[in-house]
């Protein structure tokens, strides 16, 4: 039988297939091959026979994408969530998350929650100029929830962002999932409330990944020379810079920098691009240490 792995705790895996959930364990050969099932995997499995407590996962199908921290696979849509206020938006973290979804070729929507607290049109403008869909929401006031729900339907969805931005509150407001939430502490750090990865059914062919993490994030190692290729807003200027291989940092005759000056690319996002470039450059120089 073929199913989707929706939960795993202590070596026991819940597999969804045709409206039923089967309890399974992974075959011992997966451990020998150093391959571990992760939430979101599509698997071939044998259900428990008479007298058996658990079925067995026979095969893990090829993953279209996967994340290490937290471990989750086959994500169709990533919601990068930030708060308009409380906590203050961490746009550098948001850009790192967007970079990772671009590398893994995952569709992404930027969600600005708590928009009832203050106007963050400047942040929305930055990401719209970057080619991202932006949805303004308020879990408390019910703003933008239908638009967000429509974007999620028919997909396996994960959400990422700082703690305390209201990720679980949003999903509770949309689907009454009763996810545990935490208030933002006095030092403006949200409380981690989700402790394991689990896919939650949300309508036909729609799954929500309730995950710990996706908040304090470091990108995987990539060559800093490749960074520019993952910024959608740079693509119209490809090949138009004075120097072949321009990284759009400090090179003269840079078409991207000119676009920033003309207001076609957000200056703030360009500044964060330079910070990420410098971080990657330092990591890359130490890759053999």
**Total residues belonging to the chain:** 289
Q: Which of 149, 164, 150 is nearest to 113 (CA)?
A: 164
For residue 160, the surrounding DSSP H or E stretch is: strand 156-160
Mean pLDDT of 114-122: 88
Cα dihedral: 130, 132, 133, 138 (round 10): -90
Q: How many CB atoms lie within 10 A of CB 5?
A: 25
pLDDT by residue (tens digit) across 189-211?
A: 334 344 578 898 888 889 998 77
pLDDT by residue (tens digit) across 13-44?
A: 999 999 999 999 999 888 888 889 999 999 99
Determine the Cα–Cα distance for residues 72 and 75; give it in Å rounded to an integer: 8
Query: What percent of the chain has a predicted confidence (pLDDT) above 70?
Result: 90
Judged by DSSP in three states, 128 sits in helix
Residue carrying structure tokens 């910070």: 275
pLDDT of amino acid 184: 37
Are the C-beta atoms of residues 70 and 214 closer than 8 Å to each other?
yes
pLDDT over 50 at 188, yes or no: no
pLDDT by residue (tens digit) across 149-169?
A: 999 999 999 988 888 888 878
> 86-111 burial, b for 16+ CB within 10 Å, e for fewer?
ebebbbebbbbbbbbbebeebebbbb
Residue carrying structure tokens 């890759």: 287
pLDDT by residue (tens digit) across 44-90?
A: 999 998 878 899 999 999 999 998 878 899 999 999 999 988 889 99
Residue predicted with more confidence, 153 or 289: 153
pLDDT over 60 at 215, yes or no: no
pLDDT of amino acid 187: 29
Answer whether 0.85 is exceeded by the pTM: yes
């Amino acid at each position: 039988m073929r199913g989707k792995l929706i939960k795993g705790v202590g070596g026991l895996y819940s597999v969804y297939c045709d409206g039923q959930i089967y309890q399974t364990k992974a075959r011992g050969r997966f451990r020998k091959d150093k391959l571990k099932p992760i939430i979101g995997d599509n698997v071939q499995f044998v259900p428990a026979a008479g007298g058996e407590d658990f079925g067995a996962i026979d095969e893990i199908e090829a993953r279209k994408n996967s994340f290490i921290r937290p471990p989750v696979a086959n994500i169709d849509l990533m919601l990068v969530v930030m708060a308009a206020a409380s906590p203050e938006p961490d746009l550098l973290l948001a850009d790192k998350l967007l970079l990772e979804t671009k590398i893994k070729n995952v569709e992404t929507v930027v969600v600005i929650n708590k928009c009832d607290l203050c106007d963050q049109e400047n942040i929305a403008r930055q990401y719209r100029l970057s080619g991202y869909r932006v949805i303004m929401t308020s879990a408390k006031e019910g703003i933008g929830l239908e638009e967000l729900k429509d974007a999620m339907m028919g997909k396996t969805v994960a959400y990422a962002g700082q703690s305390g931005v209201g990720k679980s509150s949003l999903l509770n407001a949309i689907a009454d999932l009763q996810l545990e939430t935490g208030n933002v502490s006095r030092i403006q750090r949200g409380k981690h409330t989700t402790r394991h990865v689990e896919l939650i059914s949300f309508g036909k062919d729609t799954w929500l990944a309730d995950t710990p993490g996706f908040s304090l994030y470091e990108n995987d190692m990539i060559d800093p020379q490749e960074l520019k290729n993952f910024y959608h807003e740079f693509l119209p200027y490809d090949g138009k810079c004075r120097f072949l291989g321009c990284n759009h940092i400090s090179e003269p005759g840079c078409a991207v920098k000119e676009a920033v000056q003309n207001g076609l690319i957000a200056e703030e996002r360009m500044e964060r691009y330079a910070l990420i470039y410098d971080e990657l450059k330092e990591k890359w120089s130490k890759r053999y240490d």
